[in-house]
Amino acid sequence: MKKLPRLKRKKQADQKPARITNETVAEHRERILAGGRRFKYPVQYARHRLVFNTILISIGALVLIVLFVWWQLYPQQNSSTFFYRITKVVPLPVAVVDGESVAYSNYLVAYRSQIHYLQVKEGLNTDNADSKKQLEYQQRRSIDNAISDAYAAKVAREQNISITTKQVDDALNQQRQSRDGVASKETYDATTLDLFNLNSQEVRGITERQLLKQEVAYKIDSLATAQRDKVVAALAADKDKDFDKAAAAIESDGASKILSGVEPFVPRTNRDGGRAATAAKLQKGEMSQPFKSTTGDGYYIVKLLDVDNDSRVSYAYIKISLTAFDSKVKQLHAQGKIKEYITIPEIQAQSIPSQ
């Protein structure tokens, strides 16, 4: 059979590029750009994908960190230094009282300082099961104080109550006084750091909150103010200035009951709310004007009875207690206007261990 000749495809001769003219320059430019787009778009797509994945991973990591911090602070109630510092940077709440947020850091600074003191002075072992009640008591005490501080700040803001820098400085100077004289600031700061693990800024913050709460308590307690004025009137009408008689003449009951008594010889710097220091400024038999206790628990009137050879003083006193602020906080508890975000057992008064 006769073979058919194999057809060979003739290679077309290479065509010479068309000549670029003013009329064809746009066409040639578009042809070159179109060839480059093949390399541009894959790289651009990969870069966009990388940015998207980075953002997605960052968001996921942030969510995990937030969940971890939440789990440690709220379900686990971790009070370590690391998480305490987090609460100082991030304003996390530990509770809310009448719509006012209670700072987690204020709770932790009080709780950690008390636990540190018990560990240093009494050898408390926090890992021991026997110390559980003590830890729960300190937790309850610390969160109750933080709640009352927050409520005091709310009332102070609403009623334009404030304290001055001088008041804070004076209170800190008062804390530095002892029977042996006045400690230097450096010595006092070192002592508070050693005993309570509190630096000077933390001590100042605690003192400032305490003073503000005291100012609020005095401001809103109209009952104590009225009782104070009645006591002053009763003493003015009694030529003997009998403190017991004056206290008994004012109708009161419960926490608002007016107290009277006699304090035996104590140092002038005795920590008793300012009674000894005030009595030391009087003459024998002289009576003071009503003054606010330095501890913020009420009004005092003192009468100097005697001074011994060691310059110690003996005095009689009348105390008009403040009750309105504590009663209001208890009322908010009863009305369900206080919500705690961590679980701490309620400690009954009879089960509270002595300090």
DSSP type of residue 1: -
Closest by CA position to 115, among listed 68, 77, 70, 153: 77
Tokens of 103: 């700072």
Whether the pTM exceeds 0.95: the reply is no
Question: For the segment 218-254, what is each residue's pLDDT rounded down to a tens digit?
Answer: 999 999 999 999 999 999 998 888 999 999 988 877 7
- As to burial, measured by CB atoms within 10 angstroms (0-12 exposed, 13-18 middle, 19+ buried), residue 156 is middle
Q: Taking a C-beta distance cutoff of 8 angstroms, is the pair 273, 317 a contact?
A: no
Is the pLDDT at 92 greater than 80? The verdict is yes
Distance CA 322, CA 300 (A): 11
Q: What is the pLDDT averaged over residues 86-115?
A: 97
Q: What is the pLDDT averaged over residues 120-147?
A: 90
Given this model, what pLDDT does residue 338 score? 97
- As to burial, measured by CB atoms within 10 angstroms (0-12 exposed, 13-18 middle, 19+ buried), residue 171 is middle
List the domain boundaries for the chain: 26-73, 81-220, 222-322
Question: pLDDT-based confidence at 351, cuts 50/70/90?
Answer: very low
Is the pLDDT at 355 greater than 70? The verdict is no
**Beta-ladder partners of 300:** 291, 319
Mean pLDDT for all residues in the chain = 87
Tokens of 193: 């750091």
Residues contacting 47, CB < 8 A, separation 6+: none
Is the pLDDT at 349 greater than 70? The verdict is no
Question: For the segment 67-84, what is each residue's pLDDT rounded down to a tens digit?
Answer: 999 999 999 999 999 999
Question: For the segment 195-227, what is each residue's pLDDT rounded down to a tens digit?
Answer: 999 999 999 999 999 999 999 999 999 999 999
How crowded is residue 308: how many other Cβ atoms within 10 Å of its Cβ? 10
Closest by CA position to 326, among listed 152, 160, 161, 136: 152
Given this model, what pLDDT does residue 18 score? 59
Tokens of 218: 């005095």
Distance CA 177, CA 269 (A): 7
